[in-house]
Amino acid sequence: MTLPTRRIGPFTVSAIGLGCMNLSHAYGRLPSEADGIRLLERALDLGVTFLDTAALYGYGGNERLIGKSVMRRKDEFTLASKCVLDVFDGERGLNGRPEAIAKTLDQALVRLGTDHIDLYYLHRLDPQVPIEDSVGALARAKEAGKIGALGLSEISAATIRRAHAVHPIAAVQSEYSPCVRNPEVAVLDACRELGIGFVAFSPVARGYLADAIAHDRYEEDDIRAIMPRFVEPQLSSNLALLARFRDLARGSGITPAQLALGWVLAQGDDIVPIPGTRSIAHLEEDVAAAHVALSADTIAAVDAIFTPGAMAGPRYSPAMQATIDTELLPEEMADA
């Protein structure tokens, strides 16, 4: 099957990609390896040509899963992975030093069973290391043929400009959805000015906009249990917003997830959302959103639900926010 395509740096990819984190990380009980393999295979069969992973996901397990399952079909997709966030001396950590980046990359290549990753991101900014040093490490990896293009994740416009001055950046990845608008502060404008593609992770807001959250009794190791928007007392307020969003989707003849993805796609043809899922049925639902064309009235109705400050609670806990360089929204700054 084929899907509509968009450009991210030098790559032409399906208009909707796949974030692979869910298969190995962060959302409670993990699927079996066999189920993960089936989902990855089905994504390629549906025409998805952009897979996103990271060293952190499953502490290397996600890269190993991709290596075991679909790397034999590598000519069918563009592969993205990430460094800086990794496991160092047995503990999760943040290390943007060039030697750490080089080590993470070499380990990733082994796990993936390849000698080349198409797009390689700095997963987060290490505030202890100048961005120029970290980007320089990626530039050297590109010169060595180990990666094809450079990316940044959850990075501010000012940092993007500093990084781009060292070496052209192909893609910036940040959370973006109808209810998370931080890239609109400055990042989207910077990307467009510099000719950088934008990759929207969590475009269905960690399942919230897919109508997958009804309470805050999460499984063990579900990251949403420590995210203020997805626990009480904030959650009840946000579920009231979701009810309006659900009704709008129903009236448009699509699912809430498809409404969220259609909204993201409508924000510009330089944006590629990468929803993640463990369900083949939900994967098929997400991919079908590549063919959804929302009317201007529907887009305006979405915006009328998620007005500035409508979502209760900050996006991240204070500890998580400390690792994020992307600009805060005005209402977040007021609460900081």
At 68-108, the pLDDT tens digits run 999 999 999 999 999 999 999 888 999 999 999 999 999 99
pLDDT given for residue 1 in this prediction: 75
pTM: 0.97
Statement: residue 11 has pLDDT above 90:
yes
First to last CA, the chain: 47
State the Cα–Cα distance between residues 108 and 116, nearest whole angstrom. 10
Q: How many helices (H) and strands (E) does the chain have?
A: 12, 12
Whether the pLDDT of residue 327 is over 70: the answer is yes
What are the structural domain ranges in the chain?
A: 5-207+257-292
Q: With a cut of 60, say whether residue 64 has pLDDT above it.
A: yes
Closest CA to 210 of 264, 277, 272: 277
Residue with tokens 């409404």: 259
Mean pLDDT of 29-54: 97
> For residue 335, what pLDDT is reported?
58
| The CATH number of the domain covering residues in 5-207+257-292 | 3.20.20.100
Catalytic option among 57, 120, 176, 208 = 57
Residue 20 has what pLDDT?
98
Whether residue 208 lies in the annotated active site: no
pLDDT, one tens digit per residue, over 97-115 is 999 999 999 999 999 999 9
Is 336 a residue whose pLDDT tops 60? no
* pLDDT at residue number 254: 98
| DSSP reduced 3-state for 191 | helix
Whole-number Å distance between alpha carbons of 91 and 300 = 45
* Sequence letter at residue 250: R
Please return the burial class of 231, using the count of CB atoms within 10 Å of its CB with bins 0-12, 13-18 and 19+.
middle
pLDDT at 334: 67
List the beta bridge partners of residue 11.
8
- pLDDT of residue 282 exceeding 80: yes
Q: State the average pLDDT over residues 174-198.
A: 98
| Nearest by Cα to 85 from 170, 18, 162, 21 | 21
Cβ neighbors of 57 (< 8 A, separation 6 or more) are 20, 21, 24, 25, 26, 63
How much is the mean pLDDT over the chain?
97
What pLDDT, on a 0 to 100 scale, did the predictor assign at position 333? Answer: 82
CA–CA distance, 206 with 212 (Å, rounded to integer): 9
Q: Which residue shows structure tokens 């960690």?
A: 206
pLDDT (0 to 100) of residue 89: 86
Percent of the chain at pLDDT > 90 equals 95
Q: Is the pLDDT of residue 185 over 70?
A: yes
